[in-house]
Chains A and B, each alone.
Chain A
């Protein structure tokens, strides 16, 4: 069983640009969640996808969007980047969408916005 992987590891963008981050879930996991973790803080829930549909959303603006694909991969897209978007972005997969399912986290993508 392979773990959750994310790409790229690091990314540098400038304000106003758009970025796409990628995640590969564990095989068989139908749910993926994305989090933003600022330095020294806990992860903040962005949204969750279940079977390719958005299944829950945190307090993030619409310029944060996502996609989930049938092959257990997913994307986080951020438009019109702002300096405050600099953070570690984590994805986590779980077998199903039940709230108590264990989430398996990837290592994260470090995004720096200049």
Chain B
């Protein structure tokens, strides 16, 4: 069945470090891919998305590219800030049927 696998955390980085959070997926067909973020004390919110192969989603300095050949959607940011500390979830929805699959989440802590 469809699924998402994320790198396990927690991840701790110093401010201005480069961030990569790995995400790979298993799906039939052509799913849409998402990154959601949960800041401390807040609800889940969409960070970025990509709906077809080779699309790049971007928001708030974060980027992820939909790579069908490697079934991946890794999240990157060139220079993290303390305010980026949160839990990040990779997710997919198959474009047939109305289901949604989340990864287990990766906790990021950025220290000054």
Write the residues of chain A forming the contact surface with B, with a CB cutoff of 8 angstroms.
Answer: 4, 33, 35, 40-45, 48, 50, 55-58, 90, 92, 97, 99-100, 102-108
Do the beta carbons of A108 and B32 come within 8 Å of each other?
no
| Residues of chain A with a CB closer than 8 A to B105's CB | 40-42
Return A87 CB to nearest CB of chain B, in Å. 13
- Bound complex: CA of A50 vs CA of B97, how far in Å? 13
A40-B104, A42-B102 in contact; A102/B46 too (CB < 8 A)?
Answer: yes
The one of B43, B98, B101 that contacts A105, using a Cβ cutoff of 8 Å: B43
- Bound complex: CA of A104 vs CA of B100, how far in Å? 14
Please tell me which stretch of B61-69, B77-85, B88-96 contacts chain A, meaning at least 4 of its Cβ atoms lie within 8 angstroms of it: B88-96
Do the beta carbons of A99 and B43 come within 8 Å of each other?
no
The one of A43, A56, A100, A108 that contacts B102, using a Cβ cutoff of 8 Å: A43
Residue in B44, B46, B49, B104 with the greatest tally of chain A CB atoms within 10 Å: B44
Do the beta carbons of B99 and A45 come within 8 Å of each other?
yes
Do the beta carbons of B46 and A103 come within 8 Å of each other?
yes
Q: Identify 21 residue pairs between A and B in the complex whose beta-carbon atoms are under 8 Å apart, listed by A's number.
A: A35-B100, A40-B104, A42-B102, A43-B44, A43-B100, A45-B100, A45-B101, A45-B102, A48-B99, A48-B100, A57-B99, A90-B43, A99-B93, A99-B98, A100-B49, A102-B46, A103-B46, A105-B36, A105-B43, A105-B45, A107-B42
Q: Enumerate the 10 nearest inter-chain pairs by beta-carbon distance, A residue then B residue, closest first.
A: A56-B98, A42-B102, A105-B44, A99-B93, A105-B43, A45-B100, A100-B32, A42-B104, A43-B102, A48-B98
Do the beta carbons of B94 and A90 come within 8 Å of each other?
no
| Residues of chain A with a CB closer than 8 A to B36's CB | 105
Q: Which B residues from 23 to 41 make CB contacts under 8 A with A?
A: 32, 36
